Structure 1
């Protein structure tokens, strides 16, 4: 995994220096996700898994 990733915080983080937020970084072929209060744990989902996650987030009223 590239070490020189540029991490960006979610616009829903609330600002004000909040430490508990989702961050995302991209390299030419992959998106990486991490929680700012656990920056060494990085998720690198496959495109299929990321699509499923985003679909689930967009439809929170569906039952699991």
Structure 2
């Protein structure tokens, strides 16, 4: 779980669609990362501990 005392600053993921559809936003945090759907920001975000986030990035960048 992310330390929620850290302010999350989301940015559009470089893997998101260039057409502004199906966009995902990512925020870094001291203990991992958070991901949310650009079109449904009010629904919140999913938190990833740093180890899981690193594994996800390693897998998707192959």
Correspondence for 2:52: 49
* Superposition deviation, residue 36 in structure 1: 0.8
**Alpha carbons of 1:52 and 1:7: their partners in 2 closer, same or farther (altered >3 Å)?**
same
Compare relative contact order (CA 8 Å, sep 6+) and give the higher one, 1 or 2.
2
CA distance in 1, matches of 2:10, 2:47: 13
Larger helix fraction of residues: 2
Aligned length: 56
Runs of 4+ in structure 1 deviating by more than 6 angstroms, as ranges, are: none
Residue ranges of structure 2 left out of the alignment (5+ in a row): none
- TM-score (norm. length: structure 1): 0.61
Residue ranges of structure 1 left out of the alignment (5+ in a row): 60-64
SS of the aligned residue for 2:60 comes to helix
